[in-house]
Every structure is written in structure tokens, then in C-alpha cells.
Structure 1
């Protein structure tokens, strides 16, 4: 689902499923789910025991007032004090035990959420990552798990305790004097009404948009950090990264609007009511006192309610944070479930084995989600086994999309992509990956040694095989300048490489993998003239396997000089294959390719001259 679609449907979906958020979360906890229930029970008992000291204080005050001023006659006061201490210690011990249980369950739940999402993403088509930014995925995988951890470890047992506290509070309100109890209920009712106003309706919509805004800031923030070198080079400000700037501004407006416009008045009223709960007792006491026959007993009750009213702010604050935590958890688990719902590449029940390494596009159509026009529209061409076919054409013509369909980064909407006469969807994904090596223009090295970076293509390769692949990829000059040669850790101690050098290392990976089919997408995109010459030399090694047999090569290129020697050139324009043939044949045809070649020749002969009257 796209970001826009998710933003529109998330509030409705979350409202309909919020009630089951805790159950969906606990499903990740596995066998430790029972610890959550046990922790909640212990927390509830702990809260009920927490009322004990207040009751003991009331008993002690009653006895002291009854014998005043002969305080020594109140023999049970010390007993009540010890009982109060026992209740307090027991409440703390049970609460600690409850938190231990819920933390164990929460850690297992968060761990399983991360493991399941990462495992699922490992089986998701690689094209999924083109439409879902890494920052947004990191926010879901790591951030959402962290949010649910707080809910299960703290908020859920506190919720159980709050329910027990409110139930016990209501019982105690009417235990000694129902009139004073009703007075204590007034600030509770005011606070609850304010909370429902803030959290319901617009408040719930805000929480969904708030979480969406956090995801957007993570996504655009990651893009901004990666682009900092460009910002420094051109002395730009954050405004040059409009998406990141707008995401921050949107979050600021959203938070300020909700806090100031929507919550300021009800929150102030709620805090004022529960913080001054004892004030509501005074008018009731003034009205009720004249009718009392035992004024000492009434004074004792008043003292109890005045002291006990201090529990009200704690209880209502917990209820407020409980509601916020449940909304956040409902949104977090929904986002995790969206990732878990991402399409995966499953192996067919009876996978078929290709009989050769030819690649065939049969009337293939494909459109990206939300796009107005298809990226590929009834495209057909053949890459015979052992041949090299180049895809060229204007930007946006569908070249990269076509190359991505071979290793199943995406699946065609219509038509078939065949490898060795077998639809790629009918092959075992691992078998397809073994047969295809790909080098794309957006390549990154791991923070590991150059040896391990190249060996990632074939983990079982020996050091000698890796060195041979590096040499074939024209990487000897790269290794010569590194402090520890092939054992140098990329990114450590200022060790960095140019785009063209990284591209040659990617070619070394492809050579080491020794796959019979090679897909190259803009392999010379970041190459300067010197690197381009070496990359072209590496192509010659890549085009042939270790046994000398020619590989099947499908290459995408903008630099037409790299495709002159291709066995066939397919010209894609606006998603359609408009021309096919050899370089000479296409130039002679005078079509789109011929015009592109003329433009290319004019570009390579273009130069700057300082002489008067000369052309630039």
C-alpha cells in the first residue's frame, strides 16, 4: 500500500481494530503470553493493597480522636502503623513481581516482532524496497516494536492496576460516608469527560496522523542524512531538501494544533479538577456537619477522604496515559502487520528447471502501483542464450523495469518473462537467484573488508577465487592503494571509494558468482573515462564464465558507446519496444536509435574553447 493510501485508510482501520490491538500484540509473545496475564493480576492486587495504608491511617485517626486528649489510651495505633507498613511493602513487592513478568513477555514480543518482520522482508520481492523507503521500514521494524514494548511492559499492568484502583476507590468512597464519596467522584467525572473529549473523535484521528508523520520524518530524514555531502558541496540549507523540511513543518503544525487548539482547555480543566479534589469535599462537609450527632466520627471521615483524594490524580493520570498507549500500540501493530502483508516470492509447489539460459519477454505489461501509465506495455523481445542484448531509450522508457522483471524484483501484470523456456514465476526463487547475477547503478558496500564484500556473492569462495574475480574486474589498482589491501574494511578510518571503483567491485561480485545470466543496469553510470575503460575490460571477463562459455547478458545503458558491440539492441520508449536490431542496422533505419546516436556523437565532440568566435 502506498503512503498516500495508507494515510487515508489508517484512521478507519485503526478505529475498527483498536479493541483487538492487545490480543494481536500478545500473539507475538508466544508462550510468554501467560506472563502478561499474571503480571496484570499481580499489578491489580498490588494496587488494592496500596489502599491498605489509607485505611490503616483512618483506623488510627479514629482511635486517636475517640480517646482525645488521652492519646496513650489508643493502644492499637502502633498495630495499625505496622499493618500500614506491611501493606505498603506487599504492594511494592507484588508490583515489582508483576513488572518482571510483563517485561519478560514484552521483550519476547518485541523481539519476535522484529524477527518476523525482518524474516518476512527477506522473502519479499526486492522491488518492494524501491517503493518503501528504508527510513520508513526502519521506523516500523524498530520503532513500532519499541512502542509496543512500553505498552506491554508498563502500560498494560498499569492499566490493570488502574482498573483495580478505580474499582477499589469507588468502593472506599462509599464505605465510610457516601456524601463525601460522591464529592470525590465529581473531579473524577470531570477528568474522564475531558479525556474522552481529547482522546475520542478528533483525538484518535490525530494519533493516526501523528504516527504517520513520525514515519514520514524518519523516511525523509534518512534521505536527508544520505544527501548531506551534496548539501555541503553546494552550500545549501535544509530548504534544499524540501521533503524533509515539509515533514518537520507538518509534524510541528500537527502537534501544535492538537496541543493548543484541541487539548489546552480540557487538559487544564482536568488537571485543575483532580489536583484540587479535596476542595470538592469542603462544601459537602459544611452542609452536612450541622446535622451530624457524632462530629468526631464525621471529622475522622472527612480527614480520610481529604487524604485519600490524593490518589485521584494518580489514578486519572494513569488512565490518560493508558488511552494514549493503546492508540499508539494499535497503530504500531497495524503498521507491523502491513509489512507482514507485503507480497513475498513463494516457491511453486512443483518448480520447473530451465533447459538453457535464454531470456524471453512475451507480450509483457507492467504498471507500478498508483501510476497513471504502464511502465511496460506489451513488450516482447528475446535474449538468446550466450548473447548480449542492450536496452536503450529515453529516460522513463521502461529499461530498468524490464531488467528488474528477470530476477523477479517485480512480477509482470500480463504476459510472461521466461528463462530457459520456463516462466520465472514457475521457478524456485533460490534457483532463479543462482542463475542470475545483477549489477545495478545504486550499489552499496557493507562495512566489512573488501574480501568479504566481494565474497557476499558466493560465501563459500576461497580467497584465491575472490582475488581472481577482483583481478578480472580490473580492481588491482584499487587494492594497491588500500592500506590493508583486500582486507581493508570499507568505511573505516576514512577508507572510501569513488562511484566507478565501487562499480568495479560490484562487477567482481558478479564475476565471482559465475551465474549464467547477467543483468546490468547502468553499470557505467558513475564512471569517469578512466573507470569506464576498466569497466569495459571487466565486461569482457563478465560476459564469459569460468569455463569460457559465453553468458547471457541483458544490459541497460544510456551511454551508447557501451552497446555498439551488443548482439542486439532493443529500443524502449514510453514502455514499448519500438525498435530492435544491431547497431548498424538501427542507425541505417533512421529511427529513434539513429537520432539518439546522432545526439550522442554530437555530445562527445562538444568542447569549450576560449577563442573568439569559437563555438562552445
Structure 2
């Protein structure tokens, strides 16, 4: 029977990221072991001093070799420090390369993942995996592995010293070490391993929710809320706190107290052993010197065992970090086109498209078919959750369809080179972020080789002249921390400038006016007109007034095409779109009026607002045109 290939351990897998510097880790571990053995030298020299002094007592002047032992002790101590320094240099070089390669490989892998992957994985979560996990492995490789090698060398050295001095007293020291190791194993196995997974998961969760909380601080401040308004963030902190306190208090307290007591009270083992053995000793002076050696040497044991404890913790954290990195690396990359084809034009066609999100119970799109002729504007509307954004995201291959096909220029997008496809499509979302760079660099993100004149032209077409005029250094003004800040509507217009300068033949607009005030919305609409000229436009909107002039409107409901047609055609049919339009007209007719009796114009203009209904005089009330407040 063929033997199964055993998967390498976590440390071996981590060292694979070190590449050519991997051998330095082993060199560092060997040097650390040598350094630990050299550190025994001063204690041995002290034993020789004690032995000689006891042998000549009380004629201390006859102990002539004491000075030489002292210099040997100093030399061995310095040598131990120097060798340990070299050991850490080697392991750090390997650890830094490991962390660097881990970050590079994970980031490189992310570059090949579908863009939709980032909508289901928060930036805080990914940051924790890429940066936090790499940092946690650095501690293990740079410090803990050489310390483990030193701890092993300490135990081996103690076994050797048993034969050189008094094995019975040495065995008493080793008993304390055995108790300490048993306590450590109790904390780090079984429930301890499970806790480390939960601990790392809690850190990742706190990073993700914390990032979202920081981004939402403006909302919290506007409405005078507290951290409790962000229940997810509060719950993540509470969960982490309770988990850590319960683990430390109920699981670790007893073994940790036991092992610390044993190590720091090692004389509790030595003194009884010495008292039992002393009466039977013929050479009491030599026995007392041996006891003095082990009593002094016992100070090394807690330090070495503490290093071993930290190494065990770092090993568990690194194993979990490696598992998270492997999970990220296992995410399926966007399949590359085997035989790349070139779109004939900028038309878009959905052909019996179905799409199901991972883990979802029902499809987000269910046998959807419609066409967007080259140069036309098609609007996707419908109730929330109908599949509008999902459909738009399939055009630039944020995801690949589950069945059916999405074609650009008559070619399935899966058969178009990914770079060429991205050059074909520009998109503007309802929430856009600007980089901490100049305004010009933010616009150039879509076209890095653009000149200042081209940037200015794109900003002009995007109705951003007022933004450029108010910035102290114009397009070369820094945005973000330490620079200028733009409003939400202004950010949308800069995002439109990006799309304009990209000059892609297909444009996807996903709720681009969702959070704009009336003034910015008017400017954005004018920018849309410039952006849409001669291009194929797929527009997603909840404000139906923005899609009235579309060449075709596709109404999506629960992932299916409910109806298609122009604005006037759909109104005549009296279907879902007509009902949505009626609701929209009713909604936009509502306005704020005075509760003191002022009402909207209409047949009920003389209606009164009575304060007895709970509206105080002079307080604002909601009114509808043709109705009463």
C-alpha cells in the first residue's frame, strides 16, 4: 500500500515563503542552541570558584584560580550574547523575507480575483489577513523558533550536567521543568487550540467592524450617537472580551499559576532533596558546592521556560494565521480567456443569464435576457433586491454567470482578455472613494498617462470647474487627510471625471445620484449627458425621473425581467413600472409646510392643521400637494 504524502507542518509551510533565506532560520536556531549552552559557562565557573573556596576554607588566599574562572565567566557570557545576536540576525532576515513574500503573494493573488470578491469581504478583514497575519508569523520565525532551540538545548545541557555534577540534584531541577511542560501542554492543547482559532477570528471580526465604524463616524457625530449605535462593533468587542476573560479565568488560571509557582520556587524541589541526601554524603564540601551550583543555575530555568511558553503561543497564532492566508490564496481566480476574442462593437447582450451568490438559497438573477444596442442607453429599475446591481456587475466580470452568457460586441465576456474588457467598461457607483493624492492623480487613476490638459478637460465635462476653482493649488491640491475635503456630490462628479477621461465605450452607472443634493444632482445630470454621448450606457436608478429619457427600460423583480419598453410604453401597460411611477410621483409631491395652518397648493388648500392632533404651532409637518398637513 502506498504511503500517503503527509502535509508539512505549519512552520515548514511558513518557511516556504522565506524562499532562498529559509536556511538562515536553521542556522539561527543552531546558533541559538549554542548560545544557550555557552550561557551555562558562567554557572560552571561559579561552581569551580565555590568548589575551590570550600576546599581551602578558611585559607581563602590559597584559592589561586578564582580570577581565571572570573575571566572565563565574563568571556563565556559575552560569547553567548554575541552568538545569540548572530542567531537573531539570521532568523530576522528569514522572517522579514517570509512576511514580505506572504504580503506580496496574497496581494498578487487578490489582483486576479473577481472584483465581486471584495464586495463580500470587507477591507478590514482582508487587511487583517494580509498585514496582521504576516506580522504574527514574523514573531514566531524571528524570536520564538530560536528560543525553542535554546530551550531544547537547555534541557539537553541539564541532562549533561547531571553526569558532571550530582544527578540527584539535577533530577530535582528537571522535575520542576517536567511540571512546567505539563502545564504548558494543558493550556496549549485541546481547548487551548480551539481558543486560538476563536481568538484570531475575533481579531479579524473586530478589524472588519472597526473599519466600518471609523468610516461611519460622521453619521454617528451628526446624530449624536455612541458606539452602541454600531451594534456590530460593540458586539465584536464584547464577544472578544468575554471570550478572553473566560479562557484566562477558567481554563488557564490553574495551570499557569502552578507552572509559575513551580518554576520560580524551584528551590522547593532542591532543598528537600539536599536535606535527604546530605546525611549520607562522605564528601560534604563537594556536595555543598554541587547544591550551590544547582541553586544558582535554577535562575536560568524560568527564563528558558518562559521563552518556550511564548513560543507555543506564537506557534498557535502562526498556524491559525497561515490557515487564513491559505484560505485567501484558495479563493478561485477569475478564469482567463483561453482564446481571446475582440468585441466587434460596444453592444451588450444578456442571454438567459442566471447567477447565484455563494451560499445564497435563491438566484440573484434567474434566466434574464435583454439587449443593449451599441450607443444606446438602457435603464435597469425595479424594487430593491431585484438584481439590478448584480446584472450590471456581470458586464465587467465582477462575477461570472452561473449559466447563460453576457456578451460585449457579440463576444462572451469570458472570452475577452480581462485587461481589454476593463478598458471597454467604465463604471460609477453610488459610493466612490478618492485616494489621498492630488485631484489630478485621483482623476488619472483611470488613465495614468493623461496630461494636465486632459485632466482639466475631463473635470470641465464632469461639471467640476467650481471644485477646481476653490482648491488652493487647483488640480494639484492634495485631497484627504492633511489636504482638502470634498462633499459627497463633489466626489461623485470627480468619479464621473475619471469615467470621462477613461473614454471607455461602455459606461455602467449604479445609482450615481443616490446621495447627491439637488444642486449637485443637476450638475451630475449634465455630466451624464457628456459622458453618455456616443457610448453604450447601462444605468441603474431608483429615482425614476433620471431614466425617463432612456432608449429602453428593463424592469427587474426578484431576479427576473418583469417587463421592458420605453417610459411611455410601460406607463400604458399599467404594470409594475406604472405602479412604481405612480408611487414615485406621490413621493416627490410631499413637502415640508408649517403646522400652523399653511398647506400645499391644491383643492384642500383651505384645510387646517389642528394642534390638538399633536402638532405644535409653528412646528414643521409633512404635507402633500393636494392634501392637508
TM range (shorter): over 0.9
Structure-2 separation of matches of 1:163 and 1:113: 29
Give the equivalent residue in structure 1 for 2:551.
Answer: 567
Counterpart of 1:607 (choices 591, 609, 614) is 591
Shift in Å, 1:72: 2.0
Q: Deviations over 1:276-304 (max 9, x none)?
A: 11121111111111111111111111111
Unaligned runs of 5+ in 2: 1-5, 598-607, 610-626
Structure-1 separation of matches of 2:483 and 2:83: 54
Shift in Å, 1:454: 0.9
Q: Deviations over 1:435-492 (max 9, x none)?
A: 0001011201111111111111111112111111111111112222222222222125
Give the equivalent residue in structure 2 for 1:425.
Answer: 414
SS at match of 2:516: coil
Give the equivalent residue in structure 1 for 2:447.
Answer: 458
SS at match of 1:609: strand
SS at match of 2:194: helix
2:551–2:566 CA contact under 8 A, matched in 1: yes
Shift in Å, 1:107: 1.3
Shift in Å, 1:601: 1.1
Give the equivalent residue in structure 1 for 2:541.
Answer: 557
TM alignment of 1:27-38, pairs within 5 A: 27-38=16-27
Structure-2 separation of matches of 1:38 and 1:293: 46
TM alignment of 1:41-440, pairs within 5 A: 41-440=30-429
Pairs aligned (count):
595
Q: Deviations over 1:131-160 (max 9, x none)?
A: 111111111111111111111111111111
Residue 517 (structure 2) pairs with residue 528 (structure 1): yes
Question: TM-score, normalising length from structure 1?
Answer: 0.94
Q: Deviations over 1:292-325 (max 9, x none)?
A: 1111111111111111111211121111111101
Structure-2 separation of matches of 1:287 and 1:453: 81
Give the equivalent residue in structure 2 for 1:490.
Answer: 479
1:456–1:509 CA contact under 8 A, matched in 2: yes
SS at match of 2:497: helix
Counterpart of 1:590 (choices 574, 578, 583) is 574
Structure-1 separation of matches of 2:444 and 2:538: 23
1:102–1:154 CA contact under 8 A, matched in 2: yes
Shift in Å, 1:340: 1.9
SS at match of 2:432: coil
Farther off after superposition, 287-296 or 232-241: 287-296
Residue 565 (structure 2) pairs with residue 581 (structure 1): yes
Shift in Å, 1:374: 1.4
Structure-1 separation of matches of 2:229 and 2:261: 46
Give the equivalent residue in structure 2 for 1:547.
Answer: none
SS at match of 1:442: coil
Go from structure 1 to structure 2 and tell me whether the alpha carbon gap of 1:74 and 1:580 turns closer, same or farther (over 3 Å shift). Answer: same
Farther off after superposition, 592-601 or 284-293: 284-293
Farther off after superposition, 160-169 or 383-392: 160-169
2:136–2:317 CA contact under 8 A, matched in 1: yes
SS at match of 1:267: helix
Unaligned runs of 5+ in 1: 1-15, 545-549
| Larger relative contact order (CA 8 Å, sep ≥ 6) | 1
2:477–2:483 CA contact under 8 A, matched in 1: no
Structure-1 separation of matches of 2:427 and 2:162: 73
Shift in Å, 1:577: 0.9
SS at match of 2:17: helix
| RMSD over equivalenced CA pairs, Å | 1.4
Q: Deviations over 1:73-128 (max 9, x none)?
A: 22222222222122111111100111111111111111111122222222221111
1:450–1:487 CA contact under 8 A, matched in 2: yes
SS at match of 2:375: coil
Farther off after superposition, 93-102 or 368-377: 368-377
Residue 492 (structure 2) pairs with residue 479 (structure 1): no
Q: Deviations over 1:190-230 (max 9, x none)?
A: 11111111111001100110011011111111111111111
Whichever structure has more helix as a proportion of its residues is 1
Q: Deviations over 1:319-353 (max 9, x none)?
A: 11111010011111221222222222243232111
SS at match of 2:269: helix
Q: Deviations over 1:378-398 (max 9, x none)?
A: 111111111111000001111
Counterpart of 1:511 (choices 481, 489, 500) is 500
Structure-2 separation of matches of 1:492 and 1:56: 61
Shift in Å, 1:598: 0.6
Shift in Å, 1:177: 1.5
